[in-house]
Amino acid sequence: MTAPAPIVQNADMSVAIVMGSSSDATIMDDAVQILRSFGIEVEVRVLSAHRTPDDAIEFARSAAGRGIKVIIAAAGGAAHLAGVLAAATPLPVIGVPVALVNLGGLDSLLAMVQMPKGVPVAVVAVNGARNAGLLAVRILALGDERLAAEQDRFRKELADQVRDQDAEIVARYSS
């Protein structure tokens, strides 16, 4: 699947990617790359809900004032980062559960989807950073015609790739 051609950065649209540990960076690179391919500014940080809670809360409280429109939060294990950030900001927060050795990310997934009423976190698949980035693009595209058109083009490319695969399979198995 190809990403859209690079386009001019739009400083009015910015996404923050926050991870609980630098070890999550290899997973979150997919989100950074897809957002940048759509020309979206990305701020990337390591903040911990448990080890630097004051920093995480201050980050969330000040994000909108810094031009952030969406926050993507990745964490493994107890995975409280997305919820802590969502509790301290009015911005949409997308959680990316990170798979650790034990439980394959199920613990992280369950922690993120069990948010209390009034503190929503949108959660993608375990290690689903690319989809988190694409969800952020969809949210931002609601208020940006150029980005919406770019997103439509991207979706059409995905559909064309599936149609090409279908034609290959049909040709391979035709009698």
45-80: per-residue pLDDT in tens? 999 999 999 999 999 999 999 999 999 999 998 899
17-34: per-residue pLDDT in tens? 999 999 999 999 999 999
CATH topology of domain 10-173: Rossmann fold (3.40.50)
Contact 37, 90 (CB under 8 A): no
Domain boundaries, the chain: 10-173
Confidence of residue 9 (pLDDT cuts 50, 70, 90): very low
75-126: per-residue pLDDT in tens? 998 899 999 999 999 999 999 999 998 899 999 999 999 999 999 999 999 9
d(CA 93, CA 71): 5
Contact 108, 79 (CB under 8 A): yes
d(CA 23, CA 127): 12
pLDDT of residue 2 exceeding 90, the answer is no
